[in-house]
Chains A and B, each alone.
Chain A
């Protein structure tokens, strides 16, 4: 890999710009493709393929007309937005960070969202709907509400449900979740939209402690990310967040 190629990839990553490195596997020639730029000699067909793969974050070998190219996708990190700087959040944040997520925590309550409780994390003390609008969740974003407080959770859900967020989950008991769905339905969200919400959040692994609940939520989020049916979720009892 040439130093210039390497530097361009690192610059794109730092700027959170999706970029694909395309390596010709017969001679090692390198090219770089973003949504709007091409640096290097590639046919339009290969550029289109690289962009399609970049959108889907699917690195792999492309074979066309006897040639072979490796398309190596560098997308910005997946992101998880957590609403509620609560005890569970304190364990969920480092776990999600280790799993490769960029984490943002929203909580307008000053005593919850402190740097002391959440070192090295982006904290937002805006009202959740305003913070969420500013963050603009995309399809590489997960949204998890943990406050149990409709005043805080619901405004965040309004924005999340209108976005392409790949995972939306809410902590709370089945009863709490049923009343949440009733409120959102009354506010105009249809059942298909509401079915996107994973509630109660997390896989039923008998989680009790904050760390265990964080683990169960992260596990469910991982299953959804990789489009695997969340295991055990059909079981109707013993969800992780039966709080």
Chain B
């Protein structure tokens, strides 16, 4: 992505997703599409997950990754994308909340081979 390949690799999350898919792994991509209030990662941030739970990137400071990964496993199988809402108001629905008090919407989809 840049000439500075020695430093840039951690940021090439989509590139990692493609590599995993090429290796025959099932891959789901979670993307922050909306945030309200304080949230640690901006819109467009991504978390890529495979069927073994290997992951790169992030959609929060670590508060919701576990729940997103669980949803990602289902999306990997079904192929049906879904929107996840996290935040104080949905704490019970998703059994997680954001410690920072923010709200985020995360779009989870399968990367189709």
Contacts and interface: CB of A to CB of B under 8 A. Distances in A.
Interface of A: 1-3, 6-7, 9-10, 13-14, 23, 25, 28, 59-61, 70, 72-73, 77, 93-94, 97-98, 100-103, 119-122
Interface residues of B, number: 31
Contacts of B5: 120
Given A25-B83, A102-B2, A3 B113 contact: yes
Contacts, number: 76
A59 B43 contact: yes
A120 B31 CA distance: 30
B14 A103 contact: no
Contact of A25 (B6, B33, B43): B33
B18 A122 contact: no
B49 to A, nearest CB: 13
Interface secondary structure of B, over-half rule: mixed
Contacts of B31: 70, 72
A121 B8 CA distance: 12
Q: Is the interface of A mostly helix, strand, loop or mixed?
A: mixed
B7 A98 contact: yes
Contacts of A6: 14, 17-18, 111
